[in-house]
Amino acid sequence: MAIIGIETVRYCVEDVALCTRYFDDFGLPLDERGPDRATFLLPDNSKVILQSLADVPVEGSRLAGPGVHEVIWGVDTRSSFDRLVAGLSADRDVRIDDAGTAHFVCDDGLAMGLKVWDDHREVRTATDPVNSPGNIRRMNTHRKWIARARPKYIQHVVFMSPDVEASFVFMRDRLGFRMSDHQRLLGIFARADGTTDHHNIYFLNANAPFPGADGRLRFHHVNYAVTDLDEIMVGKNYMERKGWDRSIWGVGRHRIASSLFLYLPAPTGGEAEYGADSDAIDDNWIPRSWEPLFGIAHWMHEMPAFWSQGADWDVGFVASLAPSRGSVAPDDPTLSLPVAQGRHPDDAETGQASTLPRELRNAAR
């Protein structure tokens, strides 16, 4: 185990004051505020930093436009930190600042960092029991009422990448991430080795016909985890009362990760997502290979036109990553990543070249 979550997301935005008001209304706890910078501190001691787009946080970043320009990953121990930094330093500059955070740029141009997360706090939440016909879990007891959504931690961050597979392979081979799922044509979900989140990062194909995708490396959204559907809806209503733009899709549930979602347009660029009730997975999980529209949702409140005809029920396992009887099953036509593919930097020496998922390769042309 090494990376245990997202310790900081650093936004570079056009209007720091406006974005500060947005995240205050969104429910993030404001910690520090200055004329050109604001910091929010979440219950797990992760940070959301807002600063001006004029300040490039890491030299060499190739991210276009506003949004999250740097993700700092929290690391469990000093020895894990030293091992990861030593590996990264083999072929790139790694700058360690006064606070001990290591900053670097990934092969795809994303700026990231590593920090020993010694003040990481466990988050505790309580869900209400759910009644269903013939199945009483709350007798003479109503559900709890809350006044505001209060995100608990930063669950994942999403970037549009012109080379999804290369972006993923770097995270896998250099930072110990695992593939969670493959959404054919659209992208790859990946989880840090020290978390049970379905994914902590998603690389969305920048060449796919997706809103905002223009072939360039861009920020897409951050997911802020809340407790349940009620907290999502309380947050939604509050943001609307404050005059912020409404979500296009409304509330929905992804089929991939089973997670409830609400994407809100944000003045930071991209979107801010309230998320709840995601699948939790560990190294026993076998990644799925999803038909993209089938995977995108189980249901959505404001069904977009592209989803009006539904989708083919098409999901399987990524066969090259599934247990087999001694050989790699050849029957997955969409993904051909090698099976012994670096579960961790310590065992990344497979000697096998990574190969691009064929459909993603075609889509990238």
Q: What is the signed CA dihedral for 169, 172, 178, 183, rounded to 10 degrees?
A: -20
In the complex, the smallest distance separating the C-beta of residue 67 from Fe ion, rounded to whole angstroms, is: 14
In the complex, the smallest distance separating the C-beta of residue 202 from Fe ion, rounded to whole angstroms, is: 7
CA distance 330 to 322: 11
In the complex, the smallest distance separating the C-beta of residue 39 from Fe ion, rounded to whole angstroms, is: 23
**Token reading at 273:** 């997502």
CA dihedral over 48, 53, 58, 63, signed as positive or negative: positive
Q: Is 153 in contact with 118 (CB distance < 8 Å)?
A: no
Cα distances (angstroms) measured from residue 350 to each of 83, 177, 355: 19, 16, 13
Per CB under 5 A, 223 contacts Fe ion = yes
Per CB under 5 A, 46 contacts Fe ion = no
Which CB atom, from 44 or from 76, has the smaller least distance to Fe ion? 44
In the complex, the smallest distance separating the C-beta of residue 46 from Fe ion, rounded to whole angstroms, is: 16
CA dihedral over 243, 69, 33, 45, signed as positive or negative: positive
Which CB atom, from 103 or from 218, has the smaller least distance to Fe ion? 218
What part of residues 3-32 is at the interface with Fe ion (CB under 5 A)?
A: none
In Å, how far from its chain's centre is CA 195? 12
With a CB cutoff of 8 Å and minimum separation 6, the contacts of 184 are 289, 290, 291, 292, 334, 357, 359, 360
What part of residues 93-152 is at the interface with Fe ion (CB under 5 A)?
A: none
Which CB atom, from 81 or from 274, has the smaller least distance to Fe ion? 274
In the complex, the smallest distance separating the C-beta of residue 158 from Fe ion, rounded to whole angstroms, is: 6
In the complex, the smallest distance separating the C-beta of residue 254 from Fe ion, rounded to whole angstroms, is: 8
CA distance 324 to 219: 37
Per CB under 5 A, 180 contacts Fe ion = no
In the complex, the smallest distance separating the C-beta of residue 273 from Fe ion, rounded to whole angstroms, is: 5
Which CB atom, from 88 or from 188, has the smaller least distance to Fe ion? 188
Which CB atom, from 103 or from 152, has the smaller least distance to Fe ion? 152
In the complex, the smallest distance separating the C-beta of residue 63 from Fe ion, rounded to whole angstroms, is: 18
Stretch of residues binding Fe ion (CB under 5 A), selected from 36-44, 100-108, 140-148, 222-230 = 222-230
In the complex, the smallest distance separating the C-beta of residue 259 from Fe ion, rounded to whole angstroms, is: 7
Which CB atom, from 73 or from 189, has the smaller least distance to Fe ion? 189
Residue nearest to Fe ion (CB): 223
CA distance 338 to 329: 11
Which CB atom, from 223 or from 320, has the smaller least distance to Fe ion? 223
What part of residues 251-280 is at the interface with Fe ion (CB under 5 A)?
A: 273
In the complex, the smallest distance separating the C-beta of residue 15 from Fe ion, rounded to whole angstroms, is: 24
Which CB atom, from 71 or from 116, has the smaller least distance to Fe ion? 71
Stretch of residues binding Fe ion (CB under 5 A), selected from 74-82, 106-114, 170-178, 220-228 = 220-228
Residues that bind Fe ion (rule: CB under 5 A) add up to a total of 2
CA distance 162 to 216: 6
Stretch of residues binding Fe ion (CB under 5 A), selected from 180-188, 216-224, 294-302, 303-311 = 216-224
Which CB atom, from 80 or from 195, has the smaller least distance to Fe ion? 195
Cα distances (angstroms) measured from residue 90 to each of 85, 194, 346: 9, 23, 15
Which CB atom, from 51 or from 278, has the smaller least distance to Fe ion? 278
Binding site for Fe ion (CB under 5 A): 223, 273
